[in-house]
Amino acid sequence: DIMRLLKDYKIKPDVTFFTVAIHRCNYYNLHDLSKEMLKQMSLYNVSPNIVTWAALALGCDNWKEGKSYLEEMEEAKFTPNTEVMYSLLFAAVRKFDPLYVCHVMEETRRRSITLNEKYLILLEKFYALTQRGLISKEMGKPVESKRLEDALERNPDFPEHFAKFKMRYPVWLKTVDIKIDPENPWKHEFEKFKTHGRHTIPEKGVKEDEDFPFEPEKRSSSKIK
């Protein structure tokens, strides 16, 4: 594997190498391999940076793991930033876990972390896809997202949990600091978040695509190494 090749050629991997490897492992749900990469960092005396921590956030499959991750991060003397909290939100949205999403939202607010449009767009896509999926299920139609369909089957309380998210979302929007790029064509719509505190970005074109967290087919570790 690649670690053996590095040893054979006496190449010392740096923090960027390990960060990319951890990100890729977690993206493809190879969490055990991601943890092994973290151990390898210690063996090579390479310390993680804030980008590495953001990559590690992708491996948190539930809020219990997410909370533990944030505690470990603070013990390591790192402070979560916008990108770290985005990665944690990405992990929650990818699992279609409304309560996990709410916990990440609240933690972001509690820490007074400034948000960007990327964070909000992720929430909007989660909102739109889930809302449409629940309506389709109620009408006896196929659910657009396979991952959402799995989440609905796995969690009988999902509709109730999503209802809590919908109630919390507009209130939360009015309490967080949002920094929007002045050149962003959606700036006017983003401003409505603070004014109306509601789901405002048009749903047209919102679908589960390459820009939305998805659950890739788990790859074998041999393809990642």
Kindly tell me if the per-residue pLDDT of 217 is higher than 50: no
The alpha carbon of residue 98 and the mean position of all alpha carbons in its chain are separated, in whole angstroms, by: 12
CA distance 152 to 101: 16
Query: pTM here?
Result: 0.82
Selected residue with higher pLDDT from 100 and 1 = 100
Model confidence at 192, pLDDT cuts 50, 70, 90, reads low
As a whole number, mean pLDDT of residues 106-120 equals 94
| pLDDT number for residue 117 | 85
Q: Which of 5-14, 92-101, 114-123 has the highest mean pLDDT?
A: 92-101
Describe the crossing of helices 146-154 and 117-138 by its angle, rounded to 10 degrees. Answer: 70
Indicate the average pLDDT of the chain.
Answer: 84
As a whole number, mean pLDDT of residues 60-79 equals 97
Kindly tell me if the per-residue pLDDT of 204 is higher than 80: no
Q: How many CB atoms lie within 10 A of CB 90?
A: 22
Q: What DSSP character marks residue 176?
A: S
Selected residue with higher pLDDT from 203 and 187 = 187
Model confidence at 3, pLDDT cuts 50, 70, 90, reads confident
- Give the ranges where 111-178 is alpha helix by DSSP (H): 117-138, 146-154, 158-173
Model confidence at 9, pLDDT cuts 50, 70, 90, reads confident
pLDDT tens-digit map of 127-179: 999 999 999 999 999 998 999 999 999 999 999 999 999 999 999 998 998 88
Lowest mean pLDDT among 24-33, 51-60, 158-167, 182-191: 182-191
Selected residue with higher pLDDT from 196 and 102 = 102
Query: Quick one: tokens of 167?
Result: 């109630």
Selected residue with higher pLDDT from 209 and 151 = 151
Kindly tell me if the per-residue pLDDT of 29 is higher than 60: yes
Model confidence at 190, pLDDT cuts 50, 70, 90, reads low
Selected residue with higher pLDDT from 4 and 136 = 136
- R_g of the chain, CA atoms, integer Å: 19
Domain boundaries, the chain: 2-224
Query: Quick one: tokens of 61?
Result: 């499959």
| pLDDT number for residue 66 | 98
